[in-house]
Structure 1
Amino acid sequence: MESNNLSSCEDFFVHGSFSPFEKQPSSPSVIVIGGGISGIAAARALTNASFKVTLLESRDRIGGRVHTDYSFGCPVDIGASWLHGVCNENSLAPFIRLLGLKLYRTSGDNSILYDHDLESYALFGLDGSQVPQELVSKVGEIFEKILKEVNDFFPVLNAVKVREEHQDDMSVMHAISIVLGKHPELRQEGLADQVLQWYICRMEAWFAADVDAISLKNWDQEDVLTGGHGLMVHGYNPLIEALAEGLNIRLKHRVQKIVQRNNRVIVKAEGGRHFVADAAIITVPLGVLKANLIEFEPRLPDWKLSAISDIGVGMENKVALRFNDVFWPNVEVLGVVAPRSYSCGYFLNLHKATGNPVLVYMAAGSFAVDLERLSDDKAVDFVMLQLQSILPRAPRPEQYLVSRWGSDIDSLGSYSCDLVGKPPDLYERLRARLDNLYFAGEAASVDHSGSVHGAYSSGLWAAADCRRRLEVQCGVPDLLKLASLREEMSSSEIMVPLQISRM
């Protein structure tokens, strides 16, 4: 697919239909831009269908925002960590089963904290004293009541829900304040209010955005799969590597311009490298599209540009700490409560899930942005102040890792989120095809945005759409279609049980 190569598809348009005695057209060509799991999924599906596929990735590695680091001597996911929805309906389930990858269950269905259950926490005040578990559970139940008063699907106090009585959109934080004004019995004071703020902090972590920026109309519209949530015990990398095996991947190929011309796509990368194909699938992160780092010729239409502009990009960063010994309680999460959600914090205990002496501090929203402004050393200093406030004898870590998804030129954010006052069809518009340009990625997933399986499914969806169009346009022989169908059937018949446990 190097420049100046004419595809068989274009030859077919020039010379007309072919006969059994003529040279039949070879497979159509596709360029996939972005080597995250969405791009890998698209490239895998089209390669399996005998298309000519080249995947261009700007980084020196594949995976994108799904990245497992091994510098601690054990796997640590610096990006995505969870499989959200441990069930057969999850599009990644067949491959996780096939590879025998183990999961650690952190919550069941309907957890108000989404990826963790209430009993998995040990919360502490800034003075180092542990919050009684009875108070944690009580405030958790109150928080659930507040959220059910916010939306209109779960009547609790027999009152008109906030979303029902307000036609205009507002932030979830504004809606919560309305609920507390209507129902003062739900208000909390002192330590209980700090626990409530911690729950709000956890909610912000789910959306990677401050609660005063999250849309009331859309905050709970995601199709959350059943089966609860599971940490990838060995990280996501084994899955990424298996899906990418045998693909034609060009690393360190940063795309600068995409040109549509004469039923072809010309992709220009840094260093003057050109690639030409019948179609292209664009899977770069939404933050990259927002920053206009890729020039389109012709210019993207306004309806596409407004979708790119109006979908939010949330921020979540991690500071991973490896210690020689385990000195913390045997719980999944250590939390720090405070008078404001911004000042709350929490550590994910990987020792509980993987047996490795690692704590991962997780920051979201504006706090994650502020944390990213610090140097690595200063960020670790801050995190250690929080840890030593609850565990005074905590030593300095032997090693540490600090993520910077916001300033990373190849991501410019963590994952998409719904902002206040934006139209509901943004995800459909983002993924909509533009002739022979296709769009995929977690932000182009209509039902599962912000998730790994959503990004994966989006890549499959774009590949299927691309394949249907090019097979008709290029006259792909039925033999190729049958080969691809057999490939799809064999992968769908894998029924090895998912390996998930909780200790």
Structure 2
Amino acid sequence: MENRCDVNGVNKASCYLNSERKQSRSPSAIVIGGGFAGIAAAHALKNASFQVVLLESRDRIGGRVYTDHSFGFPVDMGAAWLHGVCKENPLATWIGRLGLPIYQTSGDNSVLFDHDLESYALFDADGRQVPQELVQKANKVRHETTEDMSVAQAIALVLERDPDLRQEGLANNVLQWYLCRMEGWFATDADNISLKNWDQEVLLPGGHGLMVRGYRPIINTLAKGLDIRLSHRVTKIVRGKKGVEVTVNNDKSFFADAAIITVPLGVLKAKSIKFEPRLPEWKEAAIDGIGVGVENKIVLHFDKVFWPNVEFLGIVSSTSYGCSYFLNLHKATGHPVLVYMPAGRLAQDIEKMSDESAAKFAFSQLKVILPDVTEPIQYLVSQWGRDENSLGSYSYDAVGKPRDLFERLRIPVDNLFFAGEATSIKYTGTVHGAFSTGLMAAEECRMRVLEKYGDLENLEMFHPSMDEEAASISVPLLISRM
């Protein structure tokens, strides 16, 4: 898409601070990053009559939300769950309006790290199924201390102090599988997860549900009518009293009153964007202090279903690294698909393989429990840790770091505003968390810019949490358990 204003070969992003500014006094903003936070922010600002341009480094929108259709049906390779299947979820309005079905994988009484174990089958390394009673009785250990430590350290400490709690043989393997599931929730190993803060996020009611048709329809709807520039990788952001100048990889520059930064935390950690002047120390400390984990998906498409009719298949092992689990998409979508979901160090090790080797590894894990499996007819592999546009899957509480780092990451710096799942202190690591922070950043940006120009008449008129059309329609969610 060509830009509408070019002065001496320099892109001025619709000349936001030049003639249009003088004639119409239209406020302007640049949104950096086209994931749910960025699209939500741009959508809200456009509804508030801002001139908005969104810069996205990929050749698509969605960020870490990516619905793949190469199998002939939708498969979410990134975020796939709605955590909180309820009207209180800020995405519920959009899901209801679009009539998108949700397959509920668990209810309100679910435990954090085995949140989707209402329908599962666990097997040992010899392919024998683990008795359900043993799984339900496995110890889930947590020890309160005055000093923070990792979850793995805490478990070791408790078992050292009370040897009677130690599990042997298969019981220990089941405990390791629970840890494996917990590591999947946080996308990192148990020795990186903060004992003090691991359960401080807020879980909305309604349990957890899979987006049967994927997240793409929502983000595409939100993106309609927006000025989105794909393949525009931001390299430098200069803030000043007159506005913000954003430079992209082809040396073009965009100018506006303010900017909303929604790039993943992994990209901020990599310092691939240069800030002038430098961000304050408290902001850099927040970027450095929040952890970013890796969880990937290896999607195996078969010509028929040959596995048990459960939501999850699991393999227990003497270490969490050796455990595995597969999500059965057939129960939710009707398609013969299993999704292998490695996290933490295992995910990082698999990322060193080729996609073909990674698919073969996942298939070898499946053969442990189902020796007579047929080979997949297609496969897909994500590599969120190696992807230069994400450099990780989502954030988590690191050991010894205060939880308010997420809020510090969100707080604006002059005319720079921040959004994304890592800026949500309540809903860290979720799509609705990212969406909510995008709306919050848009409102803060709107207020700041209008205050700057003394536009008091419009200051309180618009609240971008929900546009008028969405607010006037309330559609129930289509929830199934099949």
* Alpha-carbon distance change, 483 to 131 in structure 1, aligned in 2, over 3 angstroms: closer
Deviations 1:364-410 (A, max 9, x none): 11111111111111111111111011101112111101100011000
Check conservation: 1:118, 1:137, Cα contact below 8 A: no
Is residue 2:153 matched to residue 1:174? yes
Aligned-residue offset at 1:474: 2.0
Aligned-residue offset at 1:135: 1.7
* Alpha-carbon distance change, 339 to 278 in structure 1, aligned in 2, over 3 angstroms: same
Aligned counterpart, 1:7 = 17
**Distance in 1 between the 2:147 and 2:474 partners?**
47
* Alpha-carbon distance change, 476 to 10 in structure 1, aligned in 2, over 3 angstroms: farther
Aligned counterpart, 1:327 = 306
Check conservation: 2:40, 2:438, Cα contact below 8 A: yes
Aligned counterpart, 1:82 = 81
Of 196, 199, 216, which aligns to 1:220? 199
Check conservation: 2:394, 2:421, Cα contact below 8 A: yes
**Distance in 2 between the 1:307 and 1:253 partners?**
26
The number of equivalent residue pairs is 472
**Distance in 1 between the 2:456 and 2:18 partners?**
12
* Alpha-carbon distance change, 168 to 274 in structure 1, aligned in 2, over 3 angstroms: same
Aligned counterpart, 1:110 = 109
Deviations 1:126-172 (A, max 9, x none): 11111122222222xx32xx2xxx2xxxxxxxxxxx32xx3221001
Aligned counterpart, 1:20 = none
Is residue 2:345 matched to residue 1:362? no
Aligned pairs for 1:234-383 within 5 A:
234-383=213-362
Aligned counterpart, 1:428 = 407
**Distance in 2 between the 1:236 and 1:485 partners?**
21
Check conservation: 2:442, 2:464, Cα contact below 8 A: no
Check conservation: 1:49, 1:480, Cα contact below 8 A: no
* Alpha-carbon distance change, 30 to 194 in structure 1, aligned in 2, over 3 angstroms: same
Check conservation: 1:50, 1:480, Cα contact below 8 A: no
Aligned-residue offset at 1:186: 2.9
Aligned counterpart, 1:465 = 444
Give the letter aligned to residue 77 of structure 1: D
Is residue 2:48 matched to residue 1:49? yes
**Distance in 1 between the 2:362 and 2:464 partners?**
51
**Distance in 2 between the 1:430 and 1:251 partners?**
25
Give the letter aligned to residue 402 of structure 1: V
Give the letter aligned to residue 432 of structure 2: H
Aligned-residue offset at 1:185: 3.6
**Distance in 2 between the 1:392 and 1:486 partners?**
51
Q: Is the helix fraction higher in 1 or 2? A: 1
**Distance in 2 between the 1:391 and 1:413 partners?**
31
Aligned partner of residue 271 in structure 1, secondary structure: coil
Aligned counterpart, 1:407 = 386
**Distance in 1 between the 2:277 and 2:338 partners?**
48
Check conservation: 1:122, 1:331, Cα contact below 8 A: yes
Aligned pairs for 1:60-99 within 5 A:
60-99=59-98
Give the letter aligned to residue 425 of structure 1: D
* Alpha-carbon distance change, 453 to 483 in structure 1, aligned in 2, over 3 angstroms: closer
Unaligned runs of at least 5 residues, structure 2:
6-10
**Distance in 1 between the 2:359 and 2:454 partners?**
58
Aligned-residue offset at 1:484: 6.4
Aligned-residue offset at 1:90: 1.0
Question: Matched residues, percent identical?
Answer: 61
Aligned partner of residue 90 in structure 1, secondary structure: coil
Check conservation: 2:29, 2:259, Cα contact below 8 A: yes
Give the letter aligned to residue 262 of structure 1: K
Is residue 2:393 matched to residue 1:394? no
* CA-based RMSD: 2.0
* Alpha-carbon distance change, 486 to 240 in structure 1, aligned in 2, over 3 angstroms: closer
Aligned-residue offset at 1:118: 3.2
Aligned counterpart, 2:132 = 133
* Alpha-carbon distance change, 232 to 486 in structure 1, aligned in 2, over 3 angstroms: closer
**Distance in 2 between the 1:79 and 1:119 partners?**
23
Is residue 2:200 matched to residue 1:201? no
**Distance in 2 between the 1:202 and 1:98 partners?**
33
What's the TM-score once normalised by structure 2's chain length? 0.94
* Alpha-carbon distance change, 177 to 353 in structure 1, aligned in 2, over 3 angstroms: same
What's the TM-score once normalised by structure 1's chain length? 0.90
Deviations 1:59-103 (A, max 9, x none): 000000000000011111000010001112211111111111110
Give the letter aligned to residue 315 of structure 1: V
Aligned-residue offset at 1:479: 6.1
Aligned-residue offset at 1:50: 0.8
**Distance in 1 between the 2:86 and 2:388 partners?**
34
Aligned counterpart, 2:8 = none
Check conservation: 1:48, 1:484, Cα contact below 8 A: no
Aligned counterpart, 2:30 = 31
Aligned-residue offset at 1:7: 2.9
**Distance in 2 between the 1:217 and 1:9 partners?**
54
Aligned-residue offset at 1:493: 3.6
Aligned counterpart, 1:17 = none
Unaligned runs of at least 5 residues, structure 1:
13-22, 151-161
